[in-house]
Amino acid sequence: MTKLFPYLHRDISWLQFNYRVLQEAKDPSVPLLERIKFLAIYSSNLSEFFKVRVANHRNLVRAGKKTSKHLDFEPEKVLSQLLAMVKDQQLEFTKIYEQSIIPELEEKKIFIRQKDQLNKDQIEFIETYFKEQLQPFIQPIILLKKKVIPFLNDASIYLAFELIDKENGKVIYALMKIPSDETDRFVLLPPSNVDSREILLVDDIVRHCAKTVFPGFKIQGSFSIKLTRDGELYIDDEFSGNLITKVKKSLDKRKVGVASRLVFDREIPKKMLKYLMEVFDLHEYDLSPEGRQHNNSDFFSFPRFNLDNLQDQSLTPLPYYALENLKSVYTGIAVADHLIHVPYQSYESTIRFFEDAVNDDTITEIAVVQYRVAKKSRIMDALINAARQGKKVFVFIEIKARFDEEANLQWGEKLENEGIKVRYSIPGLKVHSKLALITQRDANGKKREYAYFSTGNFNENTARLYTDLCFFTSDPRLTSEARRLMNFLEKKQPIKDKFEHLGVGQYNLNDKIDDLINYEIKQAKQKKKAEIILKLNSIQDKKIIRKLYEASQAGVKIKMVVRGICSIVPGVKGVSENIEIISIIDRFLEHTRIYYFHHGGDKLTYMSSADWMVRNLRYRYETMIPIYDDQLKKTIREILELQLSDNVKARIISQNQTNEYKSVSTKKKNEIRSQRESYNYFKDKSEAELWI
């Protein structure tokens, strides 16, 4: 990072984001069981980070100087910094869990027991549980250095045992997989008191009963370990051969990928750790010390005991009457554009966009782009039912959506079996647009098209957890351009005409964004009002960051809400003084992408599928959608204002990277928690609709 071009490496910034998630786990204002959920989110995020990003850095380090000389960073230096940051965060994770979470659980009469804290009845219970539920899955492995090199399943928990042979006193090491994929991680014990709730991790049941598995040996110690494997799909040549076959083969290889880290109990003896490193051919930078237990993403399934007072207050998605009360949503979309904001508002209108087409004789065609799909999906069921009704259905499925490749392939095969036309990934690129198009023909053959754009996927599950905008329109300016993009995806039909309204990746998206920023720069230089407001998941593209620095230096006021990666550095004198950035982590995952430009008072407003990352702006098909309806533009601006005013869950992104909370003003003293206020905002709108 230089003064001329301050820039934070994307992975260092990502760890700062994940630390903001960890902050939620120690925030006393967050309900206790939700704090445990944030421990799970932090751990799940970190596991994926090691599978992909850290694995990539390790590969660069192994490749040596020949590769690193082509990079604008030093892989070994960045890897060292990442591992040091993770080590510090893991120490804080353990401190939060042991010194905050556990004591507070105990105050609520919820006890996570250790095996030496059990009474006679509980010991009898776990020994029976082990014999009946676990023992069939237990397969102990004796380690003999290079003679026996066991294969460890990716991200599975193992216990490493130090054993002493009772006959000759010889020390040997052994491994045993914890069968947490076959049973609950958290086992409810018979309570020792009437009003207590007691839990034992399945790890400790195995620890206690291991003596029956190793007869003739004394167990000197047992320590939890986990191996994380490289999760990237390495497809050597996407441009030749069958891409689907290559993805399937890569999925099989992922299960046996190169180890990207060994997670271990930091209390493990050094001699034992060295032995494991030799067995699995690991280096120092492959090591990741943690607490006594691993796979803390399992905290997602931590028992909740129906204790509503320890959980977030229920926020039932609000109905959007303007579409939901109609016999067909197309009746409403034909008259005006519509916008819903999930999860505050119900996702029902999106589902109805497809379901209403099934039995509507005037609907002849349905086309949709799928990126990440729910396992059980009313939307996909509607597509199948529409095809059975004789309608033309086309689905483009992106099979390179990381960690959803297998599920997407399965859906594709199911759709094809129903006679639906399916096309898969484009070699060298990802299709990330969130787009659907419905074609309607009346009795006279007159054609009308309805387009649906979103900042999020067609996924009923994430629509309850992620904040996203869903936009419905029959405006020919937008539907005609959506048709051009869909024809390219379906028929490989070249796009000859320029996109005038939509910004489309690989065509005009970068130029359109540049033009919008340049206009604000021009306005600022003429001493006119110049303002940009951006809401993104991530920003990392150096070219666009350089442009924003240029805008800041010209006097453009730039405000940003960035949830995750943020490589741009605000507040640097002479470079980015006019840039202010906050990040909001709360109960819902902030996923909405919004671009706002004052544009001489025109207040140009866009929603988009694209973050400002190199991958999004250079190597994906993305869409950027203009909002023309003045009322909808006003709604989006008010959403942005609520976010920018957040002084409860907003963290300040600054040069010193401390993730400080944006504090409440001592003068106003009013707390603004943007997600709660957004729900109230749409609640007021919903109630007002009832009176119309």
pLDDT tens sequence across 439-472: 999 878 889 999 999 999 999 999 999 999 999 9
Question: How many helices, marked H, and strands, marked E, lie in the chain?
Answer: 21, 27
Indicate the pLDDT class of residue 286, thresholds 50, 70 and 90. confident
Give yes or no for residue 232 having a pLDDT over 60.
no
Judged by average pLDDT, the poorest of 1-10, 215-224, 238-247, 507-516 is: 238-247
Integer Cα distance of 342 and 47 in angstroms: 27
Q: Which residues contact 290 (CB under 8 A, 6 or more apart)?
A: 90, 93, 94, 263, 264, 265, 266
Tell me the mean pLDDT in the region 645-656: 95
Q: Does residue 255 or residue 153 have the better pLDDT? A: 153
* Active-site annotation holder among 208, 341, 432, 591: 432
Judged by average pLDDT, the poorest of 9-18, 147-156, 190-199, 368-377 is: 147-156
Q: Does residue 148 or residue 104 have the better pLDDT? A: 104
pLDDT for 667 equals: 54
Summary mean pLDDT of the chain: 90
Give the Å distances, CA to CA, from 89 to 16, 26, 254. Answer: 10, 12, 27
pLDDT for 664 equals: 62
pLDDT for 504 equals: 96
Let me know the angle formed at the C-alpha of 611 by 607 and 617, rounded to the nearest 5 degrees. Answer: 105
For 474-490, give the DSSP string.
--HHHHHHHHHHHHHHH
Kind and range of the H or E element at 112? strand 110-112
Give yes or no for residue 235 having a pLDDT over 80.
no
pLDDT tens sequence across 528-566: 999 999 999 999 999 999 999 999 999 999 999 999 999
Tell me the mean pLDDT in the region 385-405: 86
Kindly report the number of other CB atoms within 10 A of residue 436's CB atom: 25
Give all domains of the chain, ordered by start, each with its CATH number: 112-310 (3.30.1840.10), 321-497 (3.30.870.10), 504-690 (3.30.870.10)
Q: Does residue 241 or residue 108 have the better pLDDT? A: 108
Indicate the pLDDT class of residue 239, thresholds 50, 70 and 90. very low
Omega before 343 within 30 of 0, i.e. cis: yes
Give yes or no for residue 238 having a pLDDT over 60.
no
Indicate the pLDDT class of residue 51, thresholds 50, 70 and 90. confident
**Which of 430, 432, 400, 395 lies closest to 411 in space, CA to CA?**
395
pLDDT for 544 equals: 97
Q: Residue 217 has which token pair?
A: 């040996």
**Which of 550, 547, 560, 533 lies closest to 651 in space, CA to CA?**
560
Integer Cα distance of 544 and 506 in angstroms: 16
| 70 in catalytic set | no
Q: Residue 335 has which token pair?
A: 């008259």
Q: Which string of b and e fits 625-635 if b means at least 16 CB within 10 Å?
A: bbbebeebbeb
pLDDT for 357 equals: 96
pLDDT tens sequence across 485-506: 999 999 887 888 899 999 999 9
Give yes or no for residue 150 having a pLDDT over 90.
no
Integer Cα distance of 470 and 320 in angstroms: 12
Judged by average pLDDT, the poorest of 192-201, 505-514, 663-672 is: 663-672
Which among 57-71, 273-287, 665-679 has the top mean pLDDT?
A: 273-287
575 near 549, Cβ under 8 Å?
A: yes
pLDDT for 43 equals: 94
Tell me the mean pLDDT in the region 629-644: 97
Let me know the angle formed at the C-alpha of 273 by 296 and 178, rounded to the nearest 5 degrees. Answer: 40
